[in-house]
């Protein structure tokens, strides 16, 4: 009797394992088929930087890094678009590919491309002065391939309040561990922090305010 029960339980376990394996194989196959038939692009990072002197040197101001996880795309380009004040139209700022990650022709799966908005374009800086209400004007980074729209990465997203709350919590919970004595016995510490979200709205908002402030001084 016990032998029959053990055999029955073993058969059930094998059936369950086989079902889980089949579901896993189906999910992997579905994911691979989706990647082979759809344009899937992920926003890897967004960085906005600004210094106090606009006209000193050539440097990036806004950098957007994307990764292709789907079909290959041809002749990609990106622009920052937002509604003009009083809904008078759409403002579009073309972004240039960074030379280190420049994609010539085809944007293959697994490839990373980086676009930037440089201070070499005075028109772009002047247009950014009109971006004063991010929630109302809905700025977004739009990706195109062969002039066709591919993907839009909105700056203001749902649950931004939760992302900011989580980021503040992560910084409060971070801690340091001493890993060496350091110079003059002051110690060398390693900082540990939980993973944080990229706050697109805060970065762009801070950047635009800095641009407006500097342009008003000049």
What average pLDDT score do residues 178-198 get? 77
- Assess if residue 28 is contained within a domain: yes
Question: Does position 169 have pLDDT exceeding 80, yes or no?
Answer: yes
- Assess if residue 209 is contained within a domain: no
Question: Does position 164 have pLDDT exceeding 50, yes or no?
Answer: yes
Question: Are 25 and 96 contained in the same domain?
Answer: no
Question: Are 108 and 1 contained in the same domain?
Answer: no
What is the rounded CA–CA span in Å between residue 155 and residue 138? 7
Question: Are 43 and 132 contained in the same domain?
Answer: yes
- Assess if residue 194 is contained within a domain: no
* pLDDT greater at residue 174 or residue 140: 140
Question: Are 29 and 44 contained in the same domain?
Answer: no
Tokens of 66: 């994307």
- Assess if residue 192 is contained within a domain: no
Q: pLDDT tier at 130 (50, 70, 90 boundaries)?
A: confident
Question: Are 17 and 45 contained in the same domain?
Answer: no
In DSSP terms, which residues pair with 42 in a beta bridge?
67
Query: What's the pLDDT score for residue 58?
Result: 46
- Assess if residue 181 is contained within a domain: no
Whole-structure pTM value:
0.73
Question: Are 71 and 106 contained in the same domain?
Answer: yes
Write the CATH number for 125: 2.60.40
pLDDT digits (tens, 9 = 90+) for 12-68: 777 778 778 888 877 776 666 666 667 788 988 888 876 544 445 445 578 889 999
- Assess if residue 141 is contained within a domain: yes
* pLDDT greater at residue 165 or residue 30: 165
Q: Are 73 and 145 in contact (CB under 8 A)?
A: yes
> 14 is in which domain, residue-wise?
1-37
State the DSSP H helix or E strand holding residue 140, giving kind and residue range, or none if neither.
strand 140-145
Token look-up 């939980």 returns: 194
Strand 90-97 relative to strand 76-83, pairing: antiparallel
What is the rounded CA–CA span in Å between residue 88 and residue 142? 20
Query: What's the pLDDT score for residue 140?
Result: 93
Question: Are 26 and 125 contained in the same domain?
Answer: no
Question: Are 132 and 74 contained in the same domain?
Answer: yes
Question: Are 141 and 88 contained in the same domain?
Answer: yes
How many domains does the chain contain in total?
Answer: 2
Q: CA-CA-CA-CA torsion for 49, 50, 54, 55, nearest 10 degrees?
A: -40
Query: What's the pLDDT score for residue 154?
Result: 92
Give the single-character DSSP code of 131.
Answer: -
What is the rounded CA–CA span in Å between residue 172 and residue 8? 53
In DSSP terms, which residues pair with 82 in a beta bridge?
91
pLDDT digits (tens, 9 = 90+) for 67-110: 998 888 888 999 999 988 877 788 888 888 876 556 777 888 88
């Amino acid at each position: 009797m016990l032998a029959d029960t053990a055999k029955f339980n073993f058969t059930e376990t094998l059936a369950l394992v086989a079902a889980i394996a089949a579901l896993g194989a189906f999910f992997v196959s579905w994911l691979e088929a989706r990647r082979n038939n759809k344009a899937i692009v992920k926003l890897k990072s967004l960085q906005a930087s600004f210094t106090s002197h606009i006209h000193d040197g050539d440097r990036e101001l806004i950098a957007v890094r994307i990764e292709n996880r789907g079909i290959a795309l041809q002749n990609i380009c990106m622009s920052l678009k937002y509604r003009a004040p009083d809904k008078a139209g759409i403002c579009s700022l073309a972004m240039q590919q960074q030379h280190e990650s420049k994609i010539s022709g085809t944007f293959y799966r697994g490839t990373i491309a980086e676009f930037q908005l440089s201070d070499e374009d005075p028109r772009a800086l002047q247009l950014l002065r009109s971006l004063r209400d991010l929630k109302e004007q809905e700025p977004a980074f739009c990706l195109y391939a062969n002039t066709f729209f591919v993907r839009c990465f909105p700056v203001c997203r749902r649950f931004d309040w939760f992302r900011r709350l989580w980021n503040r919590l992560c910084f409060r919970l971070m801690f340091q561990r001493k890993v060496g004595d350091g110079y003059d016995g002051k110690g060398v510490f390693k900082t540990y922090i939980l993973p944080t979200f990229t706050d697109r709205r805060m970065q762009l908002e801070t950047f635009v305010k800095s641009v407006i402030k500097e342009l008003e001084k000049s």
